[in-house]
């Protein structure tokens, strides 16, 4: 039941935002009473923050799986992570809309908590991406510029697809992913 509550909550938060969604909306969508929702979550805020954290954690966990399979910190590993992110956002469109709207436009009463969760859940992933770039700088594969610039532009490359996926309902092809990556790689390689 808790899983169904969370799934419906994500859908409703995605459609209506935090402020526009009530526990009654969520309970009605599941076909249970509001009291049944409260038996799993103390408040709407607790439910929202839990599904928000779980959403970003799912993104980070998949990167950890990729990281644990690959021992060499190479451009191929970076490409796999890039491709994973975009494909995840395509596959989990509703969650993607929820996560990005909630991160970029959080309800004012949740702003600090949302930002804290976002950084907490993705910190290890960002560090790992930075380590890949550090290794490639040391090996002379990419130019020697500040690592945080690499991490920032890597995520901006991924973010460039978010608008197309969420607002334009566009399907991104492997050809487009590869073309964007090749352009990015030409920009950063040594």
- Return the pLDDT at 89: 84
Indicate whether 35 and 75 sit together in one domain. Answer: no
- Return the pLDDT at 41: 96
Q: For residues 10 and 50, give the distance between their C-alpha atoms in angstroms, rounded to a whole number.
A: 10
Indicate whether 58 and 127 sit together in one domain. Answer: yes
- Return the pLDDT at 36: 94
Q: How many domains does the chain have?
A: 2
Q: Residue ranges of the alpha helices (H) in the chain? A: 2-16, 23-30, 34-38, 44-69, 75-91, 93-104, 111-138, 147-166, 174-188
Indicate whether 37 and 57 sit together in one domain. Answer: no
pLDDT in tens, the chain (190 residues): 999 999 999 999 999 999 999 999 999 999 999 999 999 999 999 999 999 999 999 888 888 888 888 777 688 889 989 998 888 888 888 888 899 889 989 999 999 999 999 999 888 889 999 999 999 999 999 999 999 999 999 999 888 888 787 777 777 888 988 999 999 999 898 8
SS3 55: helix
- Return the pLDDT at 143: 93
Who contacts 107 (Cβ-Cβ below 8 Å, separation ≥6)? Answer: 17, 18, 19
Indicate whether 31 and 95 sit together in one domain. Answer: no
Indicate whether 167 and 95 sit together in one domain. Answer: yes
Q: Looking at residue 137, which CATH number applies to its domain? A: 1.10.357.10
**Burial of residue 179, with CB atoms counted within 10 A of its CB: 0-12 exposed, 13-18 middle, 19 or more buried:** exposed
- Return the pLDDT at 69: 82
Indicate whether 129 and 175 sit together in one domain. Answer: yes
Indicate whether 116 and 155 sit together in one domain. Answer: yes
DSSP per residue over 100-111, as a string? HHHHHS--GGGH
Indicate whether 52 and 85 sit together in one domain. Answer: yes
This prediction's pTM = 0.85
- Return the pLDDT at 42: 96
Q: Looking at residue 27, which CATH number applies to its domain? A: 1.10.10.60
Residue 63: domain span: 48-188
Indicate whether 71 and 87 sit together in one domain. Answer: yes
Report CA-CA distances (Å) from 184 to 3, 38, 181.
39, 48, 5
Task: Tell me the chain's radius of gyration from C-alpha atoms.
Answer: 19
Indicate whether 145 and 177 sit together in one domain. Answer: yes
């Amino acid at each position: 039941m808790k899983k169904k509550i969370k799934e419906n909550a994500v859908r409703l938060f995605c459609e209506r935002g935090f402020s526009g969604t009530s526990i009654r909306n969520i309970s009605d969508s599941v076909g249970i009473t509001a009291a049944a929702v409260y038996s799993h979550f103390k408040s709407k805020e607790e439910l929202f923050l839990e599904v928000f954290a779980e959403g970003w954690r799912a993104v980070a966990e998949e990167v950890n799986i990729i990281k644990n399979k690959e021992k060499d910190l190479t451009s191929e590993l970076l490409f796999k992570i890039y491709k994973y992110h975009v494909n995840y956002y395509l596959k989990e469109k509703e969650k993607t809309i929820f996560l990005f709207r909630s991160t970029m436009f959080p309800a004012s009463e949740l702003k600090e908590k949302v930002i804290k969760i976002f950084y907490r859940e993705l910190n290890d992933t960002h560090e790992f991406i930075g380590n890949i770039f550090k290794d490639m700088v040391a090996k002379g594969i990419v130019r020697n510029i500040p690592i945080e610039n690499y991490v920032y532009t890597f995520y901006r490359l991924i973010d460039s697809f978010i608008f197309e996926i969420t607002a334009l309902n566009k399907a991104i092809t492997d050809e487009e992913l590869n073309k964007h990556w090749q352009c990015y790689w030409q920009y950063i390689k040594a």
